[in-house]
Each structure stands twice: as C-alpha cells, then as structure tokens.
C-alpha cells in the first residue's frame, strides 16, 4: 500500500513532505513534480499496479513551500540535491534513479550534476531549458509568459494570481478545466477530455501545491525562468529525455536545446504528443528504462 502524507525533518529544521508508492523492496526512484504541483502528481500518469509490476519504489517529495514541505527562503536549484540526499539517507537508500516531469526536470538535472555518486539513472519528461536563452520561449502562449514574468518582476501579483488559481480549483473547478482545455494542444485536450479522473487529479494537484500559500509556487517559477545557478553542459552522467513535439508548456525547442547541451544524453522526441499526453501514454516505458 502507498505511504501517503509522510514528513521528515531536515538538518536545517525544515519539514519535507513526501509520498511513497509501489514495492517497498523495489528499485528506488525519486520523482520530482512539475510546477505548481505537489507529491501527489504521479497518480495522474502512473498507477500503483504499474509500479508493483515493475518492482519500483517511487518516492515523490514536495519541493519547499509546496504541499507538506516548509518554505525555504533564498533557495536555489543547487540546494535541492541536499534535501534529496537527506531524504534518501532517512529512508536508508544509498543509490536511486531520479525522474523529473515538466518544471521538475531541472531538479532531476541538478541532481545528476551535484550528486552523481548517488544516481543510478536520471530521466526527464517534457522538461524545461533555461528561459533566458534566446528563442526558447517564442512559442509559449502569451498568458503563460505573463505569469512567468510576474514570478520575478511582480511577486505580489504572482501571489495574487496563484491564490485565485487555488480558489477557482476549489470553487469553480469546471471553469479551471475549461480554461486549461482552451490552452492545450489537441493531444493534451484528448487526455483531459476522455479521462475524468485526470481532471480530478489535475484540480487536486493545484490545491495541494498551494496548501501552504503561494510563496512556494511563485519561488519555484522564478527559479525556472531566471538565470539558473548551474550549467546543464557540466552534467557528466547519462541522462534520458522524452519530449512531445506538440508541447506548448515546454516547447520542443527546449527539449532540442537540452539534447545538445547535456553531453551524455539519450533524447527521444514524439511527433504527435503534448505536455500531458506523452507521459500519460508512455509512463510505463519511461519508468522501465530508468529502473532496468
């Protein structure tokens, strides 16, 4: 059975929330959620049955300020591997694979750079690249770019927007789904339209991401869209990358950039998949490649 809503106290006194899924004795896989999101996200794409069949122990932590994890003032990407190591040590896990989805991809990348001795394999699905590199954000919808800009130019406005998002997820869920559908490419609309449980889960991760307020999600976004504090070019261990060519959230230009930037990478691109559809359809294949 899954172990849900767990917490561990980190060396600096912060609490870190996490969920565990799959086989307790399986290959450990740390899953890093998108943004804004939380530890419950994996259930959108995979299942307990899938993890049991693959003999995988999946550990999904909340990043600081999201879900059950305390906010960490001044956090940078390079701080995250320390939290991951602390959690792995607490769980008595020496080596493990990592998988980052969407905005969580950069956290898998920084772990691959900072703690290669602990990583078995590193995978990224529909990940982002440095937003400050010219041309990589050209096809992102204007409303999304505006939200990204608020995170560092007008944090108070980002907080207001995120609070509204959380309120709408609670009070006007059908409107939230309609708004999301309008902005998604066709492959992602099909996933959303034909899987009612996906809609429920999508609303759930918004509410859980903002459980402690908007600071965590705002800071997470600001880190993603401003200058990173590490270079993907410096990663030396193998990285596996999957990306849909119809992705609007993380445009295919970002996937192709990272495929060139990371020296030892195996990248796979899918002509007719988007940001949600790729992981929903290929989750089992992706996870199998990281734990075998």
pLDDT given for residue 11 in this prediction: 97
Least confident of 149-158, 176-185, 241-250: 176-185
Range 37-49 average pLDDT: 97
What residue spans define the domains of the chain?
3-291
| Residue 1 confidence (pLDDT) above 90 | no
Distance between CA atoms of residues 99 and 22, nearest Å: 15
CATH architecture assignment, domain 3-291: 3-Layer(aba) Sandwich (3.40)
Q: What is the largest CA-CA distance in the chain?
A: 47
Q: Give residues with Cβ within 8 angstroms of 160, minimum separation 6.
A: none
**Percent over 90 (pLDDT), the chain:** 95
pLDDT digits (tens, 9 = 90+) for 208-234: 999 999 999 999 999 999 999 999 999
Query: What is the pTM for the complete model shown?
Result: 0.97
Q: Band of the pLDDT at 164, cuts 50, 70, 90?
A: very high
Q: Band of the pLDDT at 47, cuts 50, 70, 90?
A: very high
Range 112-129 average pLDDT: 98
Structure tokens, 173 = 């869920």
Distance between CA atoms of residues 241 and 260, nearest Å: 11
Judge whether 241 and 255 are in contact, CB under 8 Å. yes
Q: Band of the pLDDT at 21, cuts 50, 70, 90?
A: very high
pLDDT digits (tens, 9 = 90+) for 175-210: 999 998 888 999 999 999 988 899 999 999 999 999
Instruction: Tell the residue number behind the tokens 């993907």, with chain if given.
Output: 232
Q: Band of the pLDDT at 276, cuts 50, 70, 90?
A: very high
DSSP letter for 62, please.
P
Helix or strand holding residue 65 (H, E): none
Pick the more confident residue, 195 or 121.
121
């Amino acid at each position: 059975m899954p172990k849900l809503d767990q917490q561990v106290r980190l060396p600096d006194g912060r609490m870190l929330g996490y969920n565990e899924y799959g086989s307790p004795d399986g290959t450990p896989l740390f899953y890093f959620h998108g943004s804004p999101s939380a530890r419950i996200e994996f259930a959108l794409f995979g299942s307990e049955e899938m993890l049991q069949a693959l003999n995988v122990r999946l550990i999904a932590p909340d990043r600081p300020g999201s879900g059950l994890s305390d906010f960490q003032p001044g956090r940078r990407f390079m701080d995250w591997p320390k939290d991951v190591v602390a959690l792995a040590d607490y769980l008595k896990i020496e080596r493990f694979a990592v998988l980052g989805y969407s905005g969580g991809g950069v956290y898998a990348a920084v772990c691959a750079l900072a703690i290669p001795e602990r990583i078995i394999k590193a995978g990224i699905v529909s990940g982002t690249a440095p937003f400050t590199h010219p041309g990589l954000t050209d096809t992102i919808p204007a409303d999304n770019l505006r939200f990204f800009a608020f995170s560092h130019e007008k944090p108070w406005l980002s907080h207001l927007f995120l609070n509204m998002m959380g309120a709408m997820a609670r009070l006007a869920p059908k409107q939230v789904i309609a708004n999301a559908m309008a902005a998604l490419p066709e492959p992602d609309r099909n996933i959303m339209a034909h899987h009612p449980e996906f809609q429920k889960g999508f609303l759930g991760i918004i509410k859980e991401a903002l459980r402690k307020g908007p600071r965590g999600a705002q800071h997470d976004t600001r880190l993603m869209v401003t200058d990173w504090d590490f270079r993907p070019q410096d990663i030396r261990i193998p990285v596996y990358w999957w990306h849909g060519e119809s992705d609007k959230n993380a445009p295919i230009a970002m996937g192709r950039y990272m495929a060139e930037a990371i020296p030892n990478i195996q990248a796979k691109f899918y002509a007719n998949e988007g940001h949600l559809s790729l992981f929903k359809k290929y989750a089992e294949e992706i996870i199998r490649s990281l734990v075998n």
